[in-house]
A and B are shown apart, each in its own frame.
Chain A
């Protein structure tokens, strides 16, 4: 009940302010800066945005094509759909203790718990709570976030865990003898079934070998500048794919 009233009320209160802020920003930008250059910039940025979006599946397909050429039973990736959402707040109130964002898309827009949230640069997090028109998103930087990932080139699997805002992410469970290189991009492995395979998540920052552990000590940086985000994309599962939230009857 609290989700359907409290979160809905908070979202409704915050939305008009954000809308006014955006309108005023657009007005000031349009009139006080070089109008033509600005318009051109906007068009180029939109084009870049679209190209980046197109590149995500292309990158995945290119890597897959090399590996799967020899295999007989190639199966095409499922067609997920994107939906834009505005960020209208972050942590609101004393109980908002997780690193999270508030977005203006909810259950009525098809958003469900665990819906992947990303930008053209990479994964931002996943939906945690949903009300009819708003949702909260658990960020990948939160210590409670764990995402199965693999190196884009090395294909080494690991689990990417958050350590808090403005702190490096940790890649856990990578054995000492597995290859994973600095600057390598980590993509979702799709093993947990929440995220589709091949979405960029983070870039490896440092790889240390520990004498005390069976696993490598790997730090990574998010591909997305989360502090500067204004819009995100919600990724909707194709109807043909099984929903990991579904209840299985005994």
Chain B
């Protein structure tokens, strides 16, 4: 493989070569999602048609979505997922910013050890926590409830880590000036620090939303009541049990619904989206 690293710009001849290689790779990777989204609008027999129908021949407007809602309470699952994810976003954004600010700008005794305590939890894979956490939540009597579903993941340690880095970059003089003007510490946090952290908080919020929206293991174990299912857990019911042939149109419609919120974030907030994902990966 020869990689051309000539200075950027110029060389218009190579455009079509790179473009065609990149486009083939991109289309290959995007195909399953194209297939999902188009199948949500196909009639059932068309979905499995060979050769493949690239677009629905017999276009179904919302029939498959309606069917998906009849097979399972899709809209209830969607609402549960939204509440779950938005609570995690709000919790991590607010408490993450507050703790990040506290760790970055106040030299209180014991802050290093407390920060290490919070950050070390990032290294713990969730599978280690799931059994003891379930027993703990059961002991508190929160099994099968919104509290048990939402509370244990309400704050993500990554938020504290990320916000501490951003808060550290804020000028001390700014905080001093506010204090001289008689501002209290909570006022400084709420009215000065929080607005200054806003762009970073958007990136953080997006990444936390993606994580929460895809969360599966914890919602699966802590909730048995179907009315409390989040979308990812509810979705698995469309293809299970394994030996029953799924209703594919409904499954694809439900899958499309489950992808839509993330796709919207990607389309409308692409810059923050990429920033958040990269920051989350490079945290180590």
- The answer to whether A binds B is no
Which A residues fall within an 8 A CB radius of B? none
Which B residues fall within an 8 A CB radius of A? none
